[in-house]
Amino acid sequence: MPTDEQPLSATETVQDLILDSSDFEEFLNELARFSAHQVAGLGDDALCGITLLRDRKAATIGWSSDSAREVDEIQYSLSQGPCLTAAQEEREIHVPDLHEEERWGPEYASAVASYGLRSVLSLPFNLQGDAKAALNLYSDVPHKFDERATAKARGYTREISQALRLAVRFSLHTDSAANLRATLESRTIIDIAIGIVMAQNRCSQEAAIRILTEASSNSNTKLRDIAKSLVDSVGGSGTRTFYQEPGIRKPEQSA
């Protein structure tokens, strides 16, 4: 048994999380919180998400906070971003400063920066199967993930990959698998908002994404909040929120 002089290793801690968690979802959320503290060294302000790719669908299956899940979901709506690239191509992705990032277009960088975030580090897990996964770390400090931090994160993901691999495989043979599949198949609030803007403006998905991200940037409001406001306004009986691209005439409202 480890003593106070012999602290638990990351692998041992993750194994304890598996044993102590009541279900797969609780384990993954605890793992994300532990990872944020263990790897990023940012304390309670760290954002950490765990992305799982399975059957061509992506979902954040563990998150240290709601904001961590929301910034991950931005990438799923855009179908691109560092965590998707890290998981799909199984390689490390580093974004030193979102204000200077152009690899995934201005929509991604602007939307994530609206959360007050500046740097991103995504590292793949080695699941050795059809499923792929990545650990996503976010910081409000530019250039937070230097060589030392990246090396620490690399060693950590390598160390706990086997435990995560076993947990994912086990979950697919238990009742929690249904919850996991439902998460992977569900549409995010941002996806729904994009569809609404496309219908309202009769525009492409790319144009709809640009409209929403510009509305988010211009109003200094999180993209998810903009999306929720639009979805709520269409689904409820309150005042209708309408976002349109410059040059597009607003459709006539029926009496």
Query: Which tens digits make up the pLDDT trace of 67-114?
Result: 999 999 999 999 999 999 999 999 999 999 999 999 998 899 999 999
Higher pLDDT residue, 100 or 35? 100
Q: Distance between CA 28 and CA 47 in Å, rounded?
A: 14
Q: For the segment 133-151, what is each residue's pLDDT rounded down to a tens digit?
A: 999 999 999 999 989 889 9
Q: What is the DSSP string of 197-252?
A: HHHHHT--HHHHHHHHHHHHHHHT--HHHHHHHHHHHHHSSSPPP----TTPPPPP
The stretches of 6-118 forming alpha helices (DSSP H) are 10-20, 24-35, 66-78, 82-89, 105-113
pLDDT for the residue numbered 239:
41
Which pLDDT score, from 0 to 100, does residue 119 have? 95
Mean pLDDT within 139-165: 88
| Local confidence band at 164 (pLDDT 50, 70, 90 cut-offs) | confident
Q: What is the pLDDT of residue 253?
A: 44
Look at 20-29, 55-64, 123-132 and tell me which has the smallest mean pLDDT.
20-29
**Is the pLDDT score of 4 beyond 70?**
no
| 8 secondary structure, DSSP code | P
pLDDT, position 163: 78
Q: What is the pLDDT of residue 61?
A: 82
Residue 235 has pLDDT above 80, yes or no: no
pLDDT of residue 10: 72
The CATH number given to 178-235 is 1.10.10.10
How confident is the model over 47-58, as a mean pLDDT?
86
pTM above 0.95, yes or no: no
pLDDT of 194 > 80? The answer is yes
Band (179; pLDDT cuts 50, 70, 90): low
Q: How confident is the model at residue 171 (pLDDT cuts 50, 70, 90)?
A: low
Residue 57: strand, helix, or coil: strand
Residue 188 · residue 76 · CB < 8 Å: yes
Report whether 163 contacts 15 (CB < 8 A).
yes
What is the structure's pLDDT at 242?
Answer: 59
The mean pLDDT value for 146-173 works out to: 81
Residue-range domain boundaries for the chain: 10-174, 178-235
Domains 10-174 and 178-235 share a fold: no
Task: Give the Cα separation of 113 and 105 in Å (integer).
Answer: 13
Task: State the DSSP code for 19.
Answer: H
Highest mean pLDDT among 10-14, 34-38, 117-121, 181-185: 117-121
- pLDDT higher than 80, residue 1: no
CATH topology of domain 10-174: Beta-Lactamase (3.30.450)
pLDDT interval class at 40 (50, 70, 90): low
Higher-scoring residue by pLDDT: 23, 69: 69
Q: CB–CB of 112/119 below 8 Å?
A: no
3-class secondary structure, 59? strand
CB contact at 8 A, 108 and 75? yes
Query: What tens digit of pLDDT does each residue of 123-135 get?
Result: 999 887 788 999 9
